[in-house]
Structure 1
Amino acid sequence: MEIFIYIILGAIIGVFSGFFGIGGGIILTPLLLLLGFSPTLVIGTSLMLSLGTSISGAIAHFRLKNIQWRYVAVINIAGIIGTQIAHPIMLNLDTLGHAEAFISISYIALLTFFSFTLLKKQRTHRLKRSPLLSPMLIAGLIGLGAGFISAALGVSGGFFIVPLLIALLGLKVPHAVGTSLASVVFIVSAGFLSYSMSSSLNYLMGISLIIGTFIGAPLGAKATSLVEEKSLRRFLGILYICMIASVLSNIFSLSSIGLFIICTFTIIFFFILTHKYLQQSPKRKITQ
């Protein structure tokens, strides 16, 4: 029964991953903390899931030709370096009993910044690249930060990479999502291997979640065609706000409220996508 529940949960997270390019860990990590799992187990299991969602999501976006490979290698190399910096720091914090507090505060700070970035009124033109920094150097710095965040918070780093690829390198949202998913495969692998050798992980949970993500991620990738870029930004910003609220509820020992927030967003999200799909179905039949 547990395996079935994990597969369903993985499928739901997979849809989010394919739709937003966020790897899935950004949802799973707060969720497992709300359910009372230890920080190192949460990070390791979440990285295992993120590996599955990243691979399945990257395959889906590869078929859609949304990946810009010139940035992928640079982000991967710098990201692996970032994971090896973060891993020993998190083990020391866990030994001292401060890991969960660090994860929660980091989540709140990062998600507040990126939700504001995504929800604020967008200009009609994209930001100009800095003449002092080359695109590849910018990509490397993004990868370094993403790698550190991945190993520190148990996420793929996609929620960090996607907004920065849009803002600093001028990528369109579908290309930023696809490039992000392809970029984090090796980053997540490096972090997961580090934790698997130093911590006890729930492999049954992780494998069950991954199976679910391979079902959900392609559906999420295809669903990006149902919404405009502006709406996709708004959806992602609202998701970040919901995750902030869930982390805050965990800090104040109100886990039931955090779980309610996550469930409510999920129901509304799938209702809107279903409604848009049904709206577009008659148009597809007419064109055929």
Structure 2
Amino acid sequence: MTFLPVLIFLAALLYASVGHAGASGYLAAMALVGMSAEVMKPSALVLNLLVSSIGTVAFARAGAFSWRLFWPFALGAIPLAYFGGAAKLDGSWYKPLVGVVLLVAAVRLLFGKLPTVENTGRPNDTNIPQMPPIWLSVLLGAGIGFLAGLTGTGGGIFLTPLLLLMGWAKAKEAAGTSVAFILVNSLAGLAGKPSSLAHLPPSLWLWAIAAVAGGSLGAILGSKRLPPPSLRRLLALVLLIAAAKLIFTIK
């Protein structure tokens, strides 16, 4: 348990630097120490809420937030994140589902291109991004929001690559929009089941300090340089180990 705040700090640092809040990293860290689903989900959402708040302010101040891009995704996501947060999944279902989410996040860290100022993820970055149809954004946001609420994540690991792959946003805009999307989903997920807050552990305050410290540093550095490859590989390894534990360990 003593290395858990360190893992949370590293996750917050890396994820905040690319416009995410780190929920998949927090879930992986908690899975490694064998925490129950009842503790993992609300704890990850609370930490997500703290870091995404910092990131939203930082990226908005940098002019990297698009309201037009954000609101249709958020409109679809918020009610579904609420219902996803309210849904009760037995640990035998919740943990494998989270394991798959962690696996996706690990693959992205190892092989995907994360959004930074230097790296847009698309070869034709000089082109002006085309906004998606509002109805499509609402529909996609709903699907991502439900999965976010169900698993205790913010949905950023799905929204960011979608925005870049489809050419709907450039790097900084994708990061700034995603972190605000994560913020509203985390709020909705917690609101869906406020009784889950009773399962927050006494040591959450220490994890929160680690997350805020890493998230603050990551948000500052995010607009300047790529996170160190070694840090990405380390976090990806943690995610892979945790994913395997969640998927293949039956309790």
Give the TM-score of the pair, scaled to structure 1: 0.69
State how far apart, in whole Å, the 2-side matches of 1:164 and 1:241 are. Answer: 24
State how far apart, in whole Å, the 2-side matches of 1:74 and 1:22 are. Answer: 19
State how far apart, in whole Å, the 1-side matches of 2:105 and 2:15 are. Answer: 18
The within-5 A match list for 1:71-82 is 71-82=69-80
The answer for the alignment partner of 1:247 in structure 2 is 243
User: Whose helix proportion is higher, 1 or 2?
Assistant: 1
The within-5 A match list for 1:212-251 is 212-227=210-225, 239-240=235-236, 243-251=239-247
Superposed CA offset, 1:157-183 (max 9, x none): 111111111112432222211111112
Deviates more, 1:173-182 or 1:138-147: 138-147
Over the matched positions of the two proteins, sequence identity in percent amounts to 21
Instruction: Quote how far apart the aligned CAs of 1:108 are.
Output: 2.6
Q: Are the structure 2 counterparts of residues 104 and 140 from structure 1 closer, same or farther at C-alpha, using a change threshold of 3 Å?
A: same
Superposed CA offset, 1:189-246 (max 9, x none): 1101223324632254334333333333232122234436xx8899868855652343
Contact 2:85–2:152 (Cα < 8 Å) also in 1 = no
Deviates more, 1:56-65 or 1:200-209: 200-209
Larger Rg: 1
Instruction: Quote how far apart the aligned CAs of 1:56 are.
Output: 0.8
Find the partner of 1:108 among 103, 122, 130.
103
For structure 1, the 5+ residue unaligned runs are: 254-288
The answer for the alignment partner of 1:167 in structure 2 is 165
Q: Are the structure 2 counterparts of residues 14 and 92 from structure 1 closer, same or farther at C-alpha, using a change threshold of 3 Å?
A: closer
Q: Which residue identity is paired with 1:26?
A: S
Q: Which residue identity is paired with 1:105?
A: V
Deviates more, 1:73-82 or 1:198-207: 198-207
The answer for the alignment partner of 1:284 in structure 2 is none
For structure 2, the 5+ residue unaligned runs are: 115-120
The answer for the alignment partner of 2:148 in structure 1 is 150
Contact 1:116–1:237 (Cα < 8 Å) also in 2 = no
State how far apart, in whole Å, the 1-side matches of 2:236 and 2:144 are. Answer: 17
Q: What is the root-mean-square deviation in Å for CA atoms of aligned residues?
A: 3.5
Q: Which residue identity is paired with 1:244?
A: L
Give the TM-score of the pair, scaled to structure 2: 0.78
Find the partner of 1:191 among 189, 212, 232.
189
Find the partner of 1:93 among 90, 110, 120.
90
Instruction: Quote how far apart the aligned CAs of 1:138 are.
Output: 3.6
Task: Tell me if 1:55 matches 2:49.
Answer: no
Higher relative contact order, structure no. (Cα contacts within 8 Å, ≥ 6 residues apart): 2
Q: Secondary structure at the match of 2:80?
A: helix
State how far apart, in whole Å, the 2-side matches of 1:205 and 1:60 are. Answer: 27
Contact 1:14–1:213 (Cα < 8 Å) also in 2 = yes
The answer for the alignment partner of 1:125 in structure 2 is 124
Q: Are the structure 2 counterparts of residues 11 and 108 from structure 1 closer, same or farther at C-alpha, using a change threshold of 3 Å?
A: closer
The answer for the alignment partner of 1:12 in structure 2 is 10
Instruction: Quote how far apart the aligned CAs of 1:51 are.
Output: 0.5
State how far apart, in whole Å, the 1-side matches of 2:132 and 2:174 are. Answer: 18
Q: Secondary structure at the match of 1:98?
A: helix
The answer for the alignment partner of 1:209 in structure 2 is 207
State how far apart, in whole Å, the 1-side matches of 2:95 and 2:178 are. Answer: 26
Contact 1:115–1:241 (Cα < 8 Å) also in 2 = no
Contact 1:84–1:191 (Cα < 8 Å) also in 2 = yes
State how far apart, in whole Å, the 2-side matches of 1:59 and 1:247 are. Answer: 31
State how far apart, in whole Å, the 2-side matches of 1:123 and 1:198 are. Answer: 40
